[in-house]
Amino acid sequence: KQEVTQIPAALSVPEGENLVLNCSFTDSAIYNLQWFRQDPGKGLTSLLLIQSSQREQTSGRLNASLDKSSGRSTLYIAASQPGDSATYLCAVRPGTDKLIFGTGTRLQVFP
Amino acid sequence: DADVTQTPRNRITKTGKRIMLECSQTKGHDRMYWYRQDPGLGLRLIYYSFDVKDINKGEISDGYSVSRQAQAKFSLSLESAIPNQTALYFCATSDPHGTGKETQYFGPGTRLLVL
């Protein structure tokens, strides 16, 4: 059974720091991996999607990497800002259209 | 206007009551999903539907039922609510392209409290 774990569960940093959020999964047979952002009172927003054949994806200050063989993904946030404060979820697609989510990392960036 | 809407946004009910959570989408997607989110457990799939005539159980379907009334509407029912169904419920949609790039689009969530 595929399990997705995220470390750390919570993170509080001052503005301007570069951050790394970690995601690990137990079964390397995945179709893709996605990182989502969740804001209170709002739904999830997809940030980056990495297909199984790719190693990384970048969008602005965000960079996500994927190492399928080791079952790991990292989300790198450069020059963090208070507006980055949210919960970040990773999810793997195991080959069907279903997603299996991690438990999330709650990030707070203070001025 | 939001592409995926959920009603109600908040609901308090009592044990044993039947309640329905509704989801509507204007994205024209065939695939729709219901998830629940509990603290420390992430999102878990309850039911999903790939088109109007298709309904599939997810990871935690016991105690729930769904109805796909139209391409744009997917309702989740709790036939007899119990306290451990207290959670945040999300509806999502997706449009399969077969390219591996498709993502899911989420509604804002319904916060349910069962007393």
**pLDDT tens digits for range B41-93:** 789 999 999 999 999 999 999 999 999 999 999 999 999 999 999 999 999 99
Q: Do A44 and B103 count as a contact with CB atoms less than 8 A apart?
A: no
Average pLDDT value for residue range A35-64: 92
Higher pLDDT, A40 or A85: A85
On chain B, the residues whose CB falls within 8 A of the CB of A89 are 42-43
Q: Residue A44: which of B40, B102, B106 has the nearest Cβ?
A: B106
Average pLDDT value for residue range A3-31: 95
pLDDT at A20 over 90: yes
pLDDT at B33 over 70: yes
Q: Do B48 and A51 count as a contact with CB atoms less than 8 A apart?
A: no
User: In a 10 Å sphere around its CB, with 0-12 CB exposed, 13-18 middle and 19+ buried, how is residue B48 labelled?
Assistant: buried
Strand partners, A93: A32
pLDDT at B101 over 80: no
Quote the longest CA-to-CA distance of chain A. Answer: 42
Nearest chain B Cα distance for residue A80, angstroms? 24
Q: pLDDT over 70 for what percent of chain B?
A: 94
C-alpha distances in angstroms, A23 versus A60, A103, B43, B62? 20, 10, 15, 29
Chain A residues interacting with chain B (CB cutoff of 8 angstroms): 4, 9, 31-32, 34, 36, 41-46, 49, 51-53, 89, 91, 97-99, 101-104
CB of B5 within 8 Å of a chain A CB? The answer is no
Query: Measured at the alpha carbon of residue A34, what is the angle toward residues A33 and A37, in degrees to the nearest 5?
Result: 155
Confidence at residue B95, expressed as pLDDT on a 0 to 100 scale: 81
